């Protein structure tokens, strides 16, 4: 099944937001480990969440150096978080993620 770049990009953003919000993977290294996506793709996807009005912020770990910390979803904006959770299997299948 051929999936458009628009759909795969949209699903990737939803999945990354879900992983961050569920604290399954709330850092770039954790995202690359869980999804297998390259580091740059993970970073670009986090930055692109704002295009969907999903507010994602980095929280620096107290006393840590070198940007150690985690990402947090502050608001899902117009996206229905429950829909994403209910369609995780489909989203992962479209993206080819484990």
- From first to last of the 98 residues of the chain, give the pLDDT tens digit: 688 999 999 999 999 999 999 999 999 999 999 999 999 999 999 999 999 999 999 998 776 666 678 999 999 999 999 999 999 999 999 999 98
* CATH class of the domain at 5-95: mainly alpha
3-class DSSP assignment, residue 41: helix
Residue spans per domain, the chain: 5-95
Alpha carbons within 13 A on the beta-carbon side of 60: 6
Token readout for 65 is: 């150096």
Instruction: Say how many C-beta atoms besides its own lie within 10 A of residue 66's C-beta.
Output: 5
pTM of the full structure: 0.92
């Amino acid at each position: 099944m051929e999936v458009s770049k628009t759909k795969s990009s949209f699903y990737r953003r939803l999945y990354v937001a879900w992983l961050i919000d569920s604290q399954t993977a709330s850092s770039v290294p954790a995202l690359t480990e869980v999804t297998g996506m390259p580091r740059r793709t993970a970073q670009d996807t986090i930055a692109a969440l704002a295009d969907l009005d999903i507010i994602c912020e980095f929280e620096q770990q107290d006393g840590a150096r070198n940007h150690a910390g985690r990402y947090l979803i502050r608001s899902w904006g117009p996206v229905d978080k429950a829909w994403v959770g209910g369609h995780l299997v489909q989203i992962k299948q479209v993206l080819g993620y484990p």
